[in-house]
Structure 1
Amino acid sequence: MQASDLLVKCLEEEGIEYIFGVPGEENADFMMSLENSDSIQFILTRHEQGAAFMAEAYGRLTGNPAGCLGTLGPGATNLITGVADSNMDRAPMLVLTGQGATTRLHKESHQAMNVVDMFKPVTKWAVSISHQDNIPEITRKAVRLARTEKPGAVLIELPENIAAMQTEKTPIKPVRFRRSVPEKNIVQQVAQRIAQAKRPIIVAGNGCIRERASASLRELCELTGIGVISTFMGKGAVDMDSEHCLYTIGLGAKDLTACALDASDLIIMLGYDMVEYHPHLWNENADKNIIHIDFLPAEIDEHYNPQIEVIGDLANALDMLTEEMKSLEYDFDFSQQQAVRRDMQAELAEYKDDDTEGLIKPQKCLWDLRKALNPQDILLSDVGAHKMWIARHYHCNEPNTCLIPNGFCSMGFALPGAIGASMVYPDRNIVAICGDGGFMMNVQEMETAKRMNSNILVIVWEDSGYGLIEWKQDTEFGRHTQLAFGNPDWLQLAQAFGWDGYFVKNSVDFASTLEKALAKEGPRLLVIPIDYSENPKLTEKLGKIVCPI
């Protein structure tokens, strides 16, 4: 068969369902082969970056990679931001790019550049197919690497002349492997260390929302009563309504949750990614007792030097630890954790009944949104000041129901990400919150959403500027540089793309309009003028945090 046909058949064998992208001339053979596939659907997007974010959201929600596709040169460079975001946020992804014929790559040539070398820093593996017979091995290796903990992005480049060649090879059948489990004696040491502690605490990172780890963590908490703080990407690892939930940590300044961390004499780090929340922020003196439990050994850092590392499948490690704890006696003091949960609950509810005229407070919007959404519904956050409010004020009953980019932290994620999420869960409410800056970075995907009839609601917080940068500059320098910009007429924009549009002016009207918007189907846009005067107030509050005990 033709090499491009073989690549498609290999992807089918791997269970790939979707490829998002913008093809070019150098993808022509592959696209013709893909058109004949009965199991892979190609989704034409309006920009390659949008394609990458759609694939990222799919990968985060399913644990399986989707493809994102671009041609050589500018198509590949347009992909790279979304690919980097997926890789650093631990979402499996296949990146498929075309390339000029191998007969011209050794010299100056139209649109040709070294795509593989460009992608190496933002992928787990990047490779160009140099011979058509290598396609089965390359595809099998790429998908395995993308899925393997910690998951991420892998690039496969297919030069146009290789795509047209003939081959007699056939796909390799995938054989899944079970991850190694920790040694029992190491888990026993950890159990003994926990039992000897007085105020142990758990920090649940991104790894806790993957591979069944959340269910195992909840069993450990039920047995021991140990409280859990989550990172931004660990939300939902424990139920927000559980007494064990101590909410989220990761803001630059000290929050109430940090009080429980400071008071603990043993910190159990689960599935922790240092890119989310650097240890110098919570272990400044490098003197805390730390246990590291994860799929991979700890990253080396002078502020993160665990006394014990438990390496292996995270869910199995937690199951083993729960079994060991059943036979031990312990007497924990959770007074600080209970006080932190109590005070944080009061913070979350502070503005739930706010009826101020004009600008809408972030806290009020998120309170109403959490009340309106079901436990299985999914919120996607873009990147900006709103991300900080979502991290602090929006909490989850289930893992993977709040997707926040917090490794690479790229703006422009939420709108295309919501389209990808709606393809995984078409029957759930899929809501994206964007700043007006981040929304306009991939506004072209409004057309994709309409064409796909994506069942999504996008809420734009309008402040007509780059609010997070303003917040940061004001805090550090007492003023900010020029960061303001204009916006479109939002209702006309929605109408132009065939979306339902809503604009809410007052807090008192938000909940009812939200309910109306959620009851609709297809793509919907809801815009609110956001009260970012709350930003410096939060900074001032965090700077004066007094721990409850």
Structure 2
Amino acid sequence: MKASDLFVKCLETEGIEYIFGVPGEENADFMISLDASDKIKFILTRHEQGAAFMAEVYGRLTGNPAGALGTLGPGATNLITGVADANMDRAPMLVLTGQGDSERLHKESHQVMDVVAMFRPVTKWAQTVYHPDNIPEIVRKSVRLARTEKPGACHIELPEDIAEKDATTEPIEVRKFRRPVPDDKIVDRAWEAIRTAKRPLILAGNGTIRRRASKQLRNFVEKTGIGVLSTFMAKGCIDMDADECCYTVGLQARDHGACAIEAADVVISIGYDMVEYHPRLWNADNTHKLVHLDFIPAEIDEDYRIDVEVVGDLAHTLWMLNERVDAFGPENLDYDHSHARHAREAMKKDLDEYANDDSVGKIKPQKALADARKVLGPHDVLLSDVGAHKMWIARHYQCHEPNTCLIPNGFCSMGFALPGGIAACLVHPDRRILSVCGDAGFMMNVQEMETARRLNVNLTVMVWVDNAYGLIAWKQDNTFGRHTDLDFGNPDFVKLAEAFGWKGHFCDDSTKLADVLEQSFQEDGPSLVAVPIDYEENGKLTERLGNISCPI
């Protein structure tokens, strides 16, 4: 069959459901072949970066890759920020780019650049198709690598002349494998370190929100009572209402969770990624005994000197620990959990402080997130863009279930939440999806409002309006006592929404915000809620974090 037809057949064999992107001349053959597929849906986006963020969110929510497609040259470079974000946030993704005729790639030629070399630093694997018969091997390897822990992006480049040639091979059958599990002896060592601890604490990272891992973690925590601090991307690994939930850690400032870590004698890191929360922020003096559990070996770092490292399938590792807890008898564990319970109570007091605020004119971040939590159910999904609002979401928005708060916190790219929210709606059309953006991040991919309207997704976007790059101002103020010129103008967001065919709302009354959000979810199609935000709270939070004292 034709090479482009074979490429599509291979993607169908892999179970690929969606490809998001902007095609060009150099992938015209592939697009015609894709158009004939009744298994893969192509979503035309308004910018390649939006396509990459959509594919990332699909991967984070399903555990399976979607495609992000661009043409050669500028189409490929437009993809790269979203691809890097997915790769560093451990989302499986296939990056599909066209390329010029292979007979002109060796010389200076229109729009030609070494795209594969460009993608290698931000993917797990990047490869050009040099011969049509190699397509089944390349697609099979790409999907397998993208899904393998830790998941990430893989790139396939298909030159235009290769796409139109004939191929003689067939798709390779998908054969999944069970991940390796740890040896009993190393799990015994980990259990001995945990069993003999006096004040243990769990630091849960991105790996714990895999479905099976979260289930086993919850079992382990219920049996042992050990408190859990989660990184931004691990929210919901245990229920926010559980007594063991110490909420979130990761702000680069002293917070209640830091007190719990300081008081712990053994820190059990589970599925922990340093890209989120560097160990120098919580283990600079290497004062803790560290038990590291993860799918792959840990990064080497001076501030992360591990005592016991258990490498293997995380759910199985936790199951093995649960077996040992049961054999020992949970009632025989002699732990002091006061450090974890105090951190939970202190943080809970902060979360409740402005939940009923009645300010008018500007709405406090804490109130906006309390109302968001009020109108979203346990399985509904909130997506955070990047900016000052991300810091507030990280600290103040807590979750009942894994993968119900998506925060880009490895690569931390702005522009994530609007296109990501569209993909979340496609994955979970029966759930409420709320994207929270700053006005800066929202405008970076504002063109995808048209995509949302065309697909008629039931997405609500809440834009926090402060007419500035608020997070940069916050950090400059903290460091220098002042900030550079970071102000900008904004459109009338309600009129902007109407121009794109969205429902538009403006709310500056704290007592009405929950009702406005509820109304937006009752409306058919996408809705935008613009909120003037009170970022004077940023400085107040900085002062509060600097004055936190640890009673234990």
Task: Work out whether the TM-score is over 0.5.
Answer: yes
Tell me how far apart the structure 2 counterparts of residues 218 and 446 of structure 1 sit (CA, whole Å): 38
- Deviation at residue 211 of structure 1 after TM alignment: 4.6
| Partner AA of 2:235 in structure 1 | K
1:292 paired residue number? 292
- Deviation at residue 287 of structure 1 after TM alignment: 2.4
Tell me how far apart the structure 2 counterparts of residues 224 and 332 of structure 1 sit (CA, whole Å): 9
1:510 paired residue number? 513
2:227 paired residue number? 227
Equivalent residues of 1:340, 1:548 under 8 A apart? no
Equivalent residues of 2:458, 2:521 under 8 A apart? no
2:454 paired residue number? 451
SS in 2 for 1:461: strand
Bigger Cα displacement from structure 2, 90-99 vs 210-219:
210-219
| Partner AA of 2:213 in structure 1 | A
Tell me how far apart the structure 2 counterparts of residues 322 and 191 of structure 1 sit (CA, whole Å): 10
Q: Which structure 1 segments of 5+ residues have no match?
A: none
Q: Deviations over 1:222-270 (max 9, x none)?
A: 1100010000000000000100100000000010011111100000000
- Deviation at residue 6 of structure 1 after TM alignment: 0.2
2:216 paired residue number? 216
Are 1:104 and 2:107 an aligned pair? no
Tell me how far apart the structure 2 counterparts of residues 326 and 162 of structure 1 sit (CA, whole Å): 59
**Which ranges of 4 or more aligned residues in structure 1 deviate by more than 3 Å?**
none
2:75 paired residue number? 75
Are 1:270 and 2:273 an aligned pair? no
- Match among 475, 498, 501 for residue 498 of structure 1: 501
| Partner AA of 1:79 in structure 2 | L
1:134 paired residue number? 134
Bigger Cα displacement from structure 2, 459-468 vs 509-518:
509-518
Tell me how far apart the structure 2 counterparts of residues 308 and 297 of structure 1 sit (CA, whole Å): 11
Tell me how far apart the structure 2 counterparts of residues 542 and 505 of structure 1 sit (CA, whole Å): 27
| Partner AA of 2:111 in structure 1 | Q
2:429 paired residue number? 426
Tell me how far apart the structure 2 counterparts of residues 404 and 174 of structure 1 sit (CA, whole Å): 31
2:198 paired residue number? 198
2:548 paired residue number? 545
Are 1:180 and 2:180 an aligned pair? yes
SS in 1 for 2:327: coil
| Partner AA of 1:155 in structure 2 | H
- Match among 489, 507, 530 for residue 527 of structure 1: 530
Tell me how far apart the structure 1 counterparts of residues 355 and 281 of structure 2 sit (CA, whole Å): 31
SS in 2 for 1:212: helix
Tell me how far apart the structure 1 counterparts of residues 2 and 215 of structure 2 sit (CA, whole Å): 46
| Partner AA of 1:48 in structure 2 | E
| Partner AA of 2:31 in structure 1 | M
| Partner AA of 1:44 in structure 2 | L
Q: Please give the TM-score of this superposition, normalised by the length of structure 1.
A: 0.99
Tell me how far apart the structure 2 counterparts of residues 191 and 521 of structure 1 sit (CA, whole Å): 52
Q: Deviations over 1:340-381 (max 9, x none)?
A: 111111100000111122110000010111011100000000
2:326 paired residue number? 326
1:247 paired residue number? 247
Tell me how far apart the structure 2 counterparts of residues 199 and 130 of structure 1 sit (CA, whole Å): 57
Tell me how far apart the structure 1 counterparts of residues 284 and 540 of structure 2 sit (CA, whole Å): 25
- Deviation at residue 59 of structure 1 after TM alignment: 0.1
Tell me how far apart the structure 2 counterparts of residues 112 and 338 of structure 1 sit (CA, whole Å): 59
| Partner AA of 1:53 in structure 2 | F
- Deviation at residue 511 of structure 1 after TM alignment: 1.4
| Partner AA of 1:523 in structure 2 | P
Tell me how far apart the structure 2 counterparts of residues 335 and 6 of structure 1 sit (CA, whole Å): 61
1:14 paired residue number? 14
| Partner AA of 1:13 in structure 2 | T
- Deviation at residue 88 of structure 1 after TM alignment: 0.2
Shift of the 211–351 alpha-carbon distance from structure 1 to 2, 3 Å rule, reads closer
Equivalent residues of 2:374, 2:514 under 8 A apart? no
Tell me how far apart the structure 1 counterparts of residues 53 and 513 of structure 2 sit (CA, whole Å): 29
1:166 paired residue number? 166
- Deviation at residue 517 of structure 1 after TM alignment: 1.2
1:281 paired residue number? 281
Tell me how far apart the structure 1 counterparts of residues 104 and 450 of structure 2 sit (CA, whole Å): 37
Are 1:345 and 2:321 an aligned pair? no
1:461 paired residue number? 464
Q: Deviations over 1:442-473 (max 9, x none)?
A: 00000000000011000000000000000000
SS in 1 for 2:94: strand
1:471 paired residue number? 474
Equivalent residues of 1:379, 1:433 under 8 A apart? yes
Are 1:27 and 2:24 an aligned pair? no
| Partner AA of 1:278 in structure 2 | H
Question: What RMSD, in angstroms, separates the aligned Cα atoms of the two structures?
Answer: 0.7
- Deviation at residue 337 of structure 1 after TM alignment: 1.2
Tell me how far apart the structure 2 counterparts of residues 143 and 262 of structure 1 sit (CA, whole Å): 41
Tell me how far apart the structure 2 counterparts of residues 223 and 286 of structure 1 sit (CA, whole Å): 28
Tell me how far apart the structure 1 counterparts of residues 325 and 136 of structure 2 sit (CA, whole Å): 46
Are 1:302 and 2:305 an aligned pair? no
2:412 paired residue number? 409
Equivalent residues of 1:435, 1:460 under 8 A apart? yes
- Match among 385, 389, 393 for residue 392 of structure 2: 389
1:114 paired residue number? 114
Equivalent residues of 2:257, 2:343 under 8 A apart? yes
Alignment of 1:137-152 (within 5 A): 137-152=137-152
Equivalent residues of 2:10, 2:171 under 8 A apart? yes
Equivalent residues of 1:453, 1:523 under 8 A apart? yes
Bigger Cα displacement from structure 2, 193-202 vs 443-452:
193-202
Equivalent residues of 2:271, 2:314 under 8 A apart? yes
- Deviation at residue 11 of structure 1 after TM alignment: 0.1
Tell me how far apart the structure 1 counterparts of residues 327 and 13 of structure 2 sit (CA, whole Å): 46
Q: Which structure 2 segments of 5+ residues have no match?
A: none
- Deviation at residue 327 of structure 1 after TM alignment: 2.3
SS in 1 for 2:214: helix
Equivalent residues of 2:211, 2:402 under 8 A apart? no
1:43 paired residue number? 43
| Partner AA of 2:68 in structure 1 | C
| Partner AA of 2:409 in structure 1 | N
Tell me how far apart the structure 2 counterparts of residues 307 and 491 of structure 1 sit (CA, whole Å): 56
Tell me how far apart the structure 2 counterparts of residues 412 and 388 of structure 1 sit (CA, whole Å): 16
Tell me how far apart the structure 1 counterparts of residues 88 and 59 of structure 2 sit (CA, whole Å): 13
| Partner AA of 1:99 in structure 2 | Q
Equivalent residues of 2:193, 2:291 under 8 A apart? no
| Partner AA of 2:390 in structure 1 | K
SS in 2 for 1:257: helix
- Deviation at residue 10 of structure 1 after TM alignment: 0.1
Bigger Cα displacement from structure 2, 91-100 vs 519-528:
519-528
Equivalent residues of 2:225, 2:244 under 8 A apart? yes
Bigger Cα displacement from structure 2, 1-10 vs 318-327:
318-327
- Deviation at residue 189 of structure 1 after TM alignment: 1.3
- Deviation at residue 521 of structure 1 after TM alignment: 2.4
- Deviation at residue 83 of structure 1 after TM alignment: 0.2
Tell me how far apart the structure 1 counterparts of residues 364 and 103 of structure 2 sit (CA, whole Å): 60
The total of aligned residue pairs comes to 549
Equivalent residues of 1:353, 1:364 under 8 A apart? yes
SS in 2 for 1:326: helix
